[in-house]
Amino acid sequence: MGDTLSYFRQDMLPHIWCPGCGHGTATGALVRAIDRLHLDKNKVCIVSGIGCSSRAVGYLDFDTLHTAHGRALAFATGIKLARPELKVIVMTGDGDCTAIGGNHFIHAARRNIGITTIVMNNNIYGMTSGQYSPMTPKGFFGTTAPYGNVERNFDLCELAKSAGATYVARATSYHVPLLIDLIEKALLNPGFSVVEALVQCPTYMGRKNKIGGPVEMLNWIKEGTVNVKAAAALPPEKLKDKILIGELYNKQEGEYTADYDALIARVQRKYDKFQGGLYGCASNSD
Amino acid sequence: MSRVDVLNGNLAAAHAARLSRPEVIAAYPITPQTPVVEYLTQFHADGSLPCQMSEVESEHSAMSILTGASLTGVRCYTATSSQGLALMYEPYFRASTLRLPIVMNIVNREMISPQTVWGGPQDSMTLRDAGWLQIYVEDNQEILDTTIQAFKVAESAEVLLPINVCYDGFYLSHMTERVEIPSQEEVDAFLPPYRSRHIILDPETPMAVDPLTNGRLLMEYRRKHMAAQQAALVAIEKADAEYARRFGRSWGGVIDEYRTEDAEYLMVSLGSVCGALRECIDDARARGVRVGLLKIRSLRPFPRARVIEALAGKKGFGVIDRNVSFGTNTGILFQEIRAALYSAGSRYPAASFIGGLGGEDLTLEIVAGAIKSTIETVDAGKIDNEASWLVRPERKA
């Protein structure tokens, strides 16, 4: 492994995340995956929206774009369409990605555009101090759910799968080697990839729900998850209320910008032929 | 009986909303408005705010929910800031053109880019032509009093327009001050329940809201909307007068004046910087300089007649804008004041300043400098066509 610090804008450190926050772990995992693949820094563009998760790009020494709330995938779609050769990565959170940005998420997945999306899921709006998000489990507490959340939460990976993503995986800030492996595989998938990283927010999620500090939260995450490979051999009662981690879906289908380029080439050929046939001259050379 | 408490601006706004008995609230958290939503949720959970509350997935949905709710004839409230307001623009414009008397606090925050979360009224001032009434306030008591009054103004039969009560992010939203909170009985006596008569979705009397409309009829709507804005000038003053009678506090209606009677020079601004202006004016007065403050409370409707009256007989004025109007070289308020005076055939020497963007502090020193510079400009008989920038001297390393 190379020197991962060189991937950071060290003059921007220290970061703003709270002590014990899991966002640094997830950001570190992304950097290690990039390092393993020896990606050219100048061919990587990292885009984020708004929220604690989205602050990550400010610390990363790549071409980065910090955009509007929920819109990272829309901006990233523009970048990928204009420059398909770039490795475009989106760093987002559960609030940013599934509430205000939910529509962009399902349509990016539906198009299978070659963007790698890392969703840091801490189950709460951290930056605005602990409101419940669409990924706060039912019954959990937030500043806007003082008697427990009455709404059901999304299963992000199921959502990604059913919307059309071609690589879907989940790991946690406890299972760091797994997280790095999955991000690495996601970066190699030509189509739309989603890696959900379950991370701890001790400041709001932990405190509001009396889970404890960072260590207790990591234990909570560890106890609440089962690797999908192990799960195959477990009886249903052992899987009750457990969250599956590991590679959950991997299927090759046409990537959007590649299909788009193929379409242009096909129509161009037809047009050239048409011009030649009808007017008996070569295509316009002006 | 009213009680006195120490409140930040967001809690003052939340108390005002609670006391006004809204029936539907929909909001999405955004810095620096977030605590308003939290306080209201807490009131709701405590049982002191019996209403329907929805934490939506975006500001666009918040205003859309309130549009639907208001169309059923109930009282609605929300709050937002900056990018949230920008995202809300589509249903924001529509709420005013549908003539729905929704009340929304705007906790003023600078617009990106570059990324910023700090104060500045660029967010709401940019939207001054979207048909809402907009009042800007200076301190936390004024937030509470004006937000309660806002329901009365918006719902009055001759107005029927949505209204923003705008206050500075952080300087007011997160700073604590002494605030008097009226009792529920007192507010109930001031503010009767809202019952919609002009537009309502009621199965008993069906109504088609917003079918495709031709330009001729659309212009008729716009003409009436403009007239309602003018009627609001009176409604704001009336609400302020009645509030003063009942609660003992008047905020001046559409404008407020401070030490203007014998003033030769007027400083004009809006929002929390008026506090610094008052102090600097006291200082200048102590040195024999006859300067006063014209605080614009209502930006929409613009109080043209009262501005003309307040400036009559003065030597000239200076405007401090905490916003920009790209393409005009000045801030928004400076243009508004100049335009109002043109209609009265008055021509005053005038200085234009832009400062305090992105939460930058307008210190007493900077504001005193702006007063000094205004006097120089006015005495030289000049009219600025380009704003001077009020910036802190860079700190030497």
Residue B307, domain CATH = 3.40.50.920
CB contact under 8 A, B57 and A143: no
| B282 and B144 inside one domain | no
Q: What stretches of chain A adopt beta strand conformation (E)?
A: 44-48, 63-66, 87-93, 115-121, 167-172, 193-198, 225-227, 243-250
Answer yes or no: are the C-beta atoms of B20 and B194 closer than 8 Å.
no
Q: Which of A50, A127, A131 sits opposite B55 (nearest CB)?
A: A131
Query: What pLDDT shows up at residue B322?
Result: 98
How far apart (Å, rounded) are the C-alpha atoms in residues B56 and A100? 9
Nearest chain A residue (CA) to B88: A100
Q: What is the pLDDT of residue A278?
A: 55
For chain A, report the end-to-end CA distance as a whole number of angstroms.
52
E strand or H helix that includes residue A193: strand A193-198
* A68/B112 CB distance under 8 A: yes
In percent, the amount of chain B with pLDDT more than 90 equals 95
Q: Quick check: is B214 in a domain?
A: yes
The DSSP element (H or E) to which B106 belongs, if any, is strand B103-108
The single residue listed with the structure tokens 């590679």 is A247
pLDDT in tens, B331-370: 999 999 999 999 888 889 999 999 999 999 999 999 999 9
Residues B57, B167 within the same domain: yes
B236 plus B167 within the same structural domain: yes
Same domain, B226 and B298: no
List, for chain A, all residue ranges whose pLDDT scores fall below the cut of 50: 1, 283, 285-286
Q: What is the pLDDT of residue B393?
A: 81
Distance of residue B171 Cα from the nearest chain A Cα, in angstroms:
18
Residue B89 scores a pLDDT above 90: yes
In this structure, the answer to whether residues B67 and B161 fall within a common structural domain is yes
Q: Check whether residue B63 and residue B151 sit in a common domain.
A: yes
Tell me if B397 is assigned to some domain. no
- pLDDT recorded at residue A286: 47
Give the pairing type, strands B265-269 and B298-300. unpaired
Chain B CB contacts of A69 under 8 Å are 30, 58, 83, 87
Q: Which of B216, B247, B278 is the last residue of a domain?
A: B247
Domain check: are B239 and B259 in the same one? no
CB B105, CB B13: distance < 8 Å: yes
Residue B107 sits in the same domain as residue B239: yes
- Residue ranges making up the domain that contains B118: 3-247
Of the candidates A70, A128, A147, the beta carbon closest to that of B29 is on A128
B145-200 pLDDT tens trace: 999 999 999 999 999 999 999 999 999 999 999 999 999 999 999 999 999 989 99
Give the distance from residue A252's alpha carbon to the nearest chain B alpha carbon, in angstroms.
32
* Contact present, A49 and A68 (Cβ < 8 Å): yes
Q: How far apart are CA A184 and CA A177, in angstroms?
A: 11
Instruction: Give the contacts of A38 (CB within 8 A, at least 6 positions apart).
Output: none
CA distance B316 to B339: 15
Task: Name the strand (E) or helix (H) holding B8.
Answer: strand B3-8
* Domain end marker among B184, B218, B247: B247
Domain contains B345: yes
Same-domain pairing of B194 and B51 = yes
Averaged over B278-300, what is the pLDDT? 98
- pLDDT value for A281: 52
Q: Give the model's pLDDT for residue B35.
A: 96
**A146 → closest Cβ in B29, B31, B42:** B42
- Residue B396 domain-assigned (yes or no): no
Distance (Å, whole) CA B179 – CA B177: 6
What are the tokens at B286? 């102590």
- Reported ipTM: 0.76
The answer to whether residues B50 and B196 belong to one domain is yes
Do residue B223 and residue B280 come from a single domain? no
Residues 89-108 of A with CB under 8 A from B: 99-100, 102
* Domain total in chain B: 2
User: Taking the model in full, what pTM does it have?
Assistant: 0.88
Q: Are residues B236 and B272 in the same domain?
A: no
Q: Which of A86-90, B53-57, B138-142, B366-370 is predicted least confidently?
A: B53-57
